[in-house]
Structure 1
Amino acid sequence: MVGHKTKKRAVHELFKSIKDDPELQTAHLFTEADRLAERMDDDFVLKYFIEPFARYHFYTTKVDGLGAAYEVLGKLSGKDVKVGQFFTPENVVSFMVKLADLSSTDKALDPACGTARFLTYAMEDMLIKASGANIDAQMATIKATQLYGTDDDLNVAKLAKMNMYIHGDGKTNIQDRDGLLLSEMDGTIDVILTNPPLGELTYTKDTYNEEFRLKHMEVIPRKNVTTDKLAKYEARLGELQSMETSPARQKSIQKLLSNIAECKFAIKNGTSVFVTTGNQMKGGALFLNATKHYLKPTRDASALPEWRGGKLLIILDEGVLNTDNYERVRQFVRKYFYIKAVISLSRDTFVPVSNTSTKTSILYAIKKEDTDATQQEPVFYAHAERVGINTKRRICPNDLMGPTGYDILSKFHVFNKAVLSSYDGLHFNPKKFNPHMQEHT
């Protein structure tokens, strides 16, 4: 046990030396509050770190070593599967990043970043696309200023910072924050890639006051207090008018008529009073609402009208897309976005990484410049039964991407090429679309 005690103390000293490393301090991976002794006792360190790692010999680079440690910490972090906070399978992340077709100048955000998988894949994709004489400066800018993530779990946000650091980002923009409260990012983001919590989230907590809920959370249910009052006033007026007239009753009737007139005036002029109702909603719906605020209305002014705005790629519980309870959310999507693709995922997609079965879909949408505009382009639909790893964590075929040309990504590109070839100037011509599709199928 003497040797064990020495090892246990050595781990604590090692953590302190790592924390004090100038390079890691520059990357903001740790804070003054981070102390190993406060988070785990010596027995925990012995059981979960010393004994498992004692079986291995490490002849590796700093990044490889950090990567191994990151994987261990990720498994031990125990994200709360009760509210649907899962790690996203790598093949799904990679597919969504490729579908987004990022440019090297895009500013990308994941407001529910978890361990930052979307951001690391986005960073790698953007770095590959950097070009020109000042490529080194471009790559440094991508790492330092174009990738942003938030997670309201402090420990998970720390894992995200570590992941970004491992992938070469020395100055991360990962914050321990509520991803629904990023007002300083309104209208500044080119692309959002995210897998928000799939379970129910409470929107009546103190951080979201009633004014914020009414103005910024359009998807949550609400009632019109003014119309409710009008109905009550009119019902009471009918009762009084059916009774015998008296001075007191006549006075009450006049008061009701005045109240009714005020309510009708407010309704006509759009000044009705609303209050929100309920207290919970699926996390995907709330984060989808928030993305509307963060995305730029114009990402590429030179593109066709339905492709000019900021891009959203989000994983949603299918209840948001299909059930009556979320009709308001779907109306919100149609009002503020052009829907480009909906890719249904198998119920088992998340089992290998979360041991939880849930039915989800990927939504790909473009923010509208003009909310009165009506979508003209057709929507691409597909279903991925297999995503490269099965429920037993074994490699299997991947319907999302592959070399055959029959994968969903390839089919989307064929579909989209046909769509873009069906324009007369700036106007989509549906009569041109079907011949193009027949030509490519």
Structure 2
Amino acid sequence: MSYGIYTQEGIKKGLIHITDDESVITYIHHNMTRNYKNPEEKVQAEIFCKLILWYKYPVEKIGLYVPVTDGSTKKQADIFVYNDSNHTSPLVVIECKKEDVSEQEFAQATNQAFSYAHFTAGTIKYVWTTSGIKNAYFKFDKESSVRETVSDIPQHGIKKLSSYKYAYNGGTTASGQQLFPLAKVTESELTNIFKQAHQALWGGGELNPSEAFDELDKLIFCKIFDEKKDRDVGEPYDFQVIPVEPENNTEEAKAKAEAETNKRLLKRLTALYEEGRQIGERKNDPEIFKDNIKLNAAKARTVVSYLEGVDLLSTDLDSKGRAFETFMGSFFRGDFGQYFTPRNIVSFIVDSLPITNQSRVLDTSCGSGGFLLHALDKVRKAATQKYPNYKADIKQYQRWWPYWHDFAENNLFGIEINEQIARTAKMNMIIHDDGHTNVVASDGLVSPEVLQEKTGNLGFRKNSFEFIITNPPFGSVIKQTEKAYLHQYSLATKDVDWLNSASKAADRPSQSSEVLFIEQAEKYLADGGYLAIVLPDGILTNSSMQYVRDYISDTFRVVAVVSLPQTAFMATGAGVKSSVLFLKKYSKKEKEKRQVLRTSIQSSLLSESDNGIELFSLIAKKKKEIAKYNKLIKIAEANTPEEVQKRKDERQSMIDEFDEQIKNIKELLSESYEEQYKTSLIDYPVFMAIAEDIGFDATGKETGNNELLIVSEKLSKFIEAIENGNDSFFL
């Protein structure tokens, strides 16, 4: 069961009871049962318990579903807090809405709460509107048309409110008011917070969804930076709404105070943003956010109202990571048509590889940073296993921190062609406690030298990475006429056909991006480095892609081929049948050796084998016969057209017959070549696996089973054996 923290405590304290099937809640003191399946009831239950457990109001002073006569209409206010146990002197009216309420609906709820206050006895002093993830507090003045915001409602017995609500580790004001520390939230709560904040930014039409996403990213950055700043207990956070008190009780003074509240908030946010950016630039990361905050003060306040009470740094890494990725994935699929690698596939690939804190890791098409984040998480878990008491032992902490953080800052690299997604990858990594420094916005297929020059990041060196883990975009076609770098790729050039002496090397007019990313990986990998890449099965099976497989055979040891189900990417909008290929880069000397061997076998077969000799004989005979028929056609031209056509038909029949014989001979030569090439090489085992259930179905729904976990366990042992020079244990 998943309840809010106050609901959980309320159950323990006997304030409420919820049935095992979570369908009915009973407010025990009020002897009232309600439908707990109603999302608004969940929020109301949490607020009810919070009033008692945090605000210290006696349960006798709280009224639920209080009848209010609104003009000629009878309605029910969700919660009243009273000054007395007889419920004759109301102090606070509270309107509760479900978490995913829109900004417009939230404003309507506030209007409704004020309406209840107007039609109730004149002792009400405060109005509180809440959706659980967003709160708005007001002083109530029946004679005023301007709504004066305050930081909170008072706790029981407190006469003077603090101007702010959230402070480091909480603390208590001089008047005795307890301040709120930031709170950890669940994955679903945080997902809703991100979605609702984003919706609030673009829902009014002032920003498009993409612009709103950028601005939300900037404010999340401000929020995290604010949490990281050193503070004393009780010192307020800057990332919160701090209402300015009006100079007097006039309408003009109240309106001026509201405007000043927003203005000061935006000023604090801008200062946080600039300070964070300056630190980024000192770390040679000037591109984390190129632009200034573009939101007006009112819009900035809207976002802050969702995030101000959340402890992003302390919220469980998996929870906040999944929340951000869920929100981000739904946004990018809708706005950009971008599809990210499912988490089960990401974890399978990373967990299968022996990545350590000393490894240099690269994703050449990193998207939102999923592979890099899982690599970071793997190293962080290794650090925690190595130094399990780091939280209590300062010496262990001094070792634990650099163990994974140096890896995050210096060894993780990512390239993403879309600038906005690259910034999002950085933010994703910041949310996961950093590792964003070496993520750059660039075409991942430009040469390493060009990339270094373009980004100023010299870490993208050739032959320097131990691991490349990537899922390149499928189906993108790179044309010679559009990309000047294409001629630099051998896989963008048609080699001379060894079975056709008349063929010549020539540029291919285009090449698919996934093929080029294989060759790009060779450039970045160190000798012995691993490439784990998701590829469409066509590269592994289509006869037209044999030249790609030859390139792979020359360049890499094929370590493993793991077939994924057809449904692997359907939930993210792609349906191409794919496999994960694990490759280990040969040294330059080994590659040349294999290429020389390939050429030597081909030459030997053509010049020395019976089939090779017969091939040249057939080609010579075909040429001679063509010349003979050409003469006969020339002679026939002096006779009838019918005679000419007859000779031409005879010539074509002869050509077809020779071509069929030549084709058969070439097939025999190809088979001989493949057999001799394989037997001439040192044989090695290849890990093969078919995963039919990878933990989710075509819709993304969890299946309760994940065969990739078993495959990963066995594959990691196989790779370990390879590294130890003992890879025959599976034979």
Mark yes or no: TM-score above 0.5.
Answer: yes
Displacement after TM superposition at 1:194 (Å): 0.3
Q: Are residue 368 (structure 1) and residue 586 (structure 2) matched? A: yes
The residue that corresponds to 2:712 in the other structure is: 409
Displacement after TM superposition at 1:63 (Å): 6.2
Displacement after TM superposition at 1:114 (Å): 0.2
Letter in 2 for 1:342: V
Which of 150, 158, 166 in structure 1 is aligned with 2:423?
158
Gaps of 5+ in 1: 233-271, 298-308
Q: Are residue 115 (structure 1) and residue 368 (structure 2) matched? A: yes
Gaps of 5+ in 2: 1-103, 109-148, 150-199, 202-258, 388-395, 450-460, 595-680
Query: Compared with structure 1, are the counterparts of its residues 136 and 55 closer, same or farther at alpha carbon in structure 2 (3 Å cutoff)?
Result: closer
Could you give the per-residue CA deviations for residues 267-314 of structure 1, whole angstroms, max 9, x where no partner exists?
xxxxx8x43122232x221101100110001xxxxxxxxxxx001100
Displacement after TM superposition at 1:74 (Å): 3.8
Which of 65, 68, 77 in structure 1 is aligned with 2:332?
77
Give the TM-score, by structure 1 length.
0.68
The residue that corresponds to 1:33 in the other structure is: 291
Distance 2:360 2:331 in 1: 31
Q: Which moved more, 1:386-395 or 1:103-112?
A: 386-395
Q: Are residue 356 (structure 1) and residue 585 (structure 2) matched? A: no
Displacement after TM superposition at 1:376 (Å): 2.4
Distance 1:325 1:79 in 2: 35
Letter in 2 for 1:149: G
Q: Which moved more, 1:128-137 or 1:324-333?
A: 128-137
Superposition CA RMSD, Å: 4.1
Letter in 2 for 1:120: L
1:34-433 equivalence runs, <5 A: 35-36=293-294, 59-62=310-313, 64=315, 67=321, 68=323, 71-78=326-333, 85-130=338-383, 134-169=399-434, 172-184=437-449, 185-209=461-485, 213-214=486-487, 216-222=488-494, 274-281=505-512, 283-297=513-527, 309-352=528-571, 354-369=572-587, 370-371=590-591, 372=593, 374=681, 376-402=683-709, 407-413=710-716, 433=728
The residue that corresponds to 1:306 in the other structure is: none
Displacement after TM superposition at 1:321 (Å): 1.1
Distance 1:181 1:158 in 2: 19
Letter in 1 for 2:552: V
Could you give the per-residue CA deviations for residues 222-259 of structure 1, whole angstroms, max 9, x where no partner exists?
2669x99x959xxxxxxxxxxxxxxxxxxxxxxxxxxx
Distance 2:305 2:704 in 1: 36
Distance 1:103 1:172 in 2: 19
Distance 2:529 2:417 in 1: 24
Count of aligned positions = 355
8 A contact 1:202–1:279 mirrored in 2: yes
Query: Compared with structure 1, are the counterparts of its residues 61 and 97 closer, same or farther at alpha carbon in structure 2 (3 Å cutoff)?
Result: same
8 A contact 2:289–2:423 mirrored in 1: no
Distance 2:463 2:306 in 1: 51
Query: Compared with structure 1, are the counterparts of its residues 123 and 223 closer, same or farther at alpha carbon in structure 2 (3 Å cutoff)?
Result: same
The residue that corresponds to 2:172 in the other structure is: none
8 A contact 2:369–2:428 mirrored in 1: yes
Could you give the per-residue CA deviations for residues 9-42 of structure 1, whole angstroms, max 9, x where no partner exists?
96994996387252355345643435546xxx99
Letter in 1 for 2:331: L
Could you give the per-residue CA deviations for residues 102-154 of structure 1, whole angstroms, max 9, x where no partner exists?
12200000010000000011112123334588443332320111000011101
Query: Compared with structure 1, are the counterparts of its residues 58 and 326 closer, same or farther at alpha carbon in structure 2 (3 Å cutoff)?
Result: farther
Taking CA–CA contacts closer than 8 Å with sequence separation of 6 or more, which of the two structures ends up with the larger relative contact order? 1
Displacement after TM superposition at 1:392 (Å): 3.0
Could you give the per-residue CA deviations for residues 395-417 of structure 1, whole angstroms, max 9, x where no partner exists?
21444444xxxx21233356567
Larger Rg: 2
**3-state SS of 1:126 partner:** helix
Query: Compared with structure 1, are the counterparts of its residues 207 and 63 closer, same or farther at alpha carbon in structure 2 (3 Å cutoff)?
Result: farther
Query: Compared with structure 1, are the counterparts of its residues 81 and 337 closer, same or farther at alpha carbon in structure 2 (3 Å cutoff)?
Result: farther
Distance 2:308 2:698 in 1: 31
Distance 2:690 2:336 in 1: 24
**3-state SS of 1:114 partner:** coil
8 A contact 2:494–2:506 mirrored in 1: yes
8 A contact 1:77–1:155 mirrored in 2: no
Distance 2:270 2:329 in 1: 22
8 A contact 1:95–1:401 mirrored in 2: yes
Give the TM-score, by structure 2 length.
0.43
Could you give the per-residue CA deviations for residues 24-66 of structure 1, whole angstroms, max 9, x where no partner exists?
55345643435546xxx99xx89xx969x98999544346497
Distance 1:189 1:421 in 2: 20
**3-state SS of 2:492 partner:** coil
Letter in 2 for 1:410: E
